[in-house]
Chain A
Amino acid sequence: MPDDTDLLLRRILTDVLGLKQGQAETFDAGTGLFGHLPELDSMAVAGLLTELEDRLDIIIEDDEIDGEMLETFGGLLEFAKAKRATA
């Protein structure tokens, strides 16, 4: 089964950041997220994580959340893929 985590994550970021269609396609592994985008504050990140849980059907434990996984698109994608693999 092809892994659609990348696509779903871009969709969620589009919804949370209010991006235009296609804008999230320019994100690469190094694109900065939490701490790099002023609008992505703690409340927005909390919403993003809840949405990740709902759409990827995973549960994110508090102690799994760290700065590294939230800092870049690549970090968040790797985390989401690993969670889905074990879900």
Chain B
Amino acid sequence: MTPVTWPLPGEDAGAEMALACDAQRPARLLIVPALFDEGNRLRRFTVEVMRRLGRAGIDTMLPDLPGTNESDLGLEAQNAVRWRDAMQAAARHFAATHVLGIRGGCLFTPGLPAYHYAPVKGAQILRGMLRARMLASREAGLAEEREALTARGRAEGLVLAGYPLGASLFRELEDLEPQIGPSVITQDRIGGSGLWLRAEPDEDAQQADALAALLVEAIRP
């Protein structure tokens, strides 16, 4: 498992980071990570799945979405088109043969044979983050209404759960849905409850085994 860079094209051209388990093997899986808070909670699980796939003969690459993790770019300047283009560019750079989207990452999977693990609509992600913001404000003695927050998010962007979402990403998330076509891997095929539900990041070897096994069966020629 090594940190590598890949070139981001376009107006913000530069180098972005990825974590790769790359032994130049024929089966090469690009993983589009879960978004925001879920991305943190699922990071370790994602890497655990990569380790298992590596042992089973499948290379994996986990790029940062621009504006997240080690990216030089600001999150508030990102939008859905940039993220989709970025994942397309990463897929080309790494010569990926397949792609796995995790939760909100399923909204940005490029056009390759694709698997979607527990895909989620953009609106669901926003709903949870807006609710968290309202709960936190209430704890602090402030009353914020969903309607007013949504209007502000659409007009000028909004900080949700510590993530500064630009107005265009906010508006796009309201309507974005995972594409129809990729094979959907639901949580009941993995067993247990999804680790994105946990209040704190956690890991689960059985779940990582299960997801890796499903992917190996689907991908390996």
Stretch at the interface among B24-32, B46-54, B71-79, B125-133: B125-133
| A25 on the B face (CB < 8 A) | no
Name A62's contact: one of B145, B194, B198, B199 (CB within 8 Å): B145
Residue of B nearest to A34 (CB): B135
| A58 on the B face (CB < 8 A) | no
Q: Is the CB of A42 within 8 A of B133?
A: yes
Name B129's contact: one of A39, A46, A65 (CB within 8 Å): A46
Residue of B nearest to A39 (CB): B199
Q: Is the CB of B128 within 8 A of A50?
A: yes
Q: Is the CB of B128 within 8 A of A47?
A: yes
Name B132's contact: one of A15, A16, A18, A45 (CB within 8 Å): A45
Task: Report B100-111 CB contacts with A as 1/0, cut-off 8 Å.
Answer: 000000000000
Q: Is the CB of B202 within 8 A of A65?
A: no
**Which chain A residues border B193 with CB–CB below 8 Å?**
14-15
Q: Given the complex of chains A and B, what is the CA–CA distance between A34 and B132 in angstroms?
A: 12
Within the complex, what minimum Cβ distance (angstroms) separates A70 from chain B? 8
Known: A15-B198, A16-B197, A47-B197. A42 touches B128 (CB 8 A): no
- Interface, chain A (partner B; CB < 8 A): 14-18, 34-35, 37, 39-47, 49-51, 62, 65-67
Closest 3 CB pairs between A and B?
A: A44-B199, A15-B193, A46-B132
- Interface, chain B (partner A; CB < 8 A): 37, 124, 127-129, 131-136, 138-139, 145-146, 161, 193-194, 196-200, 202
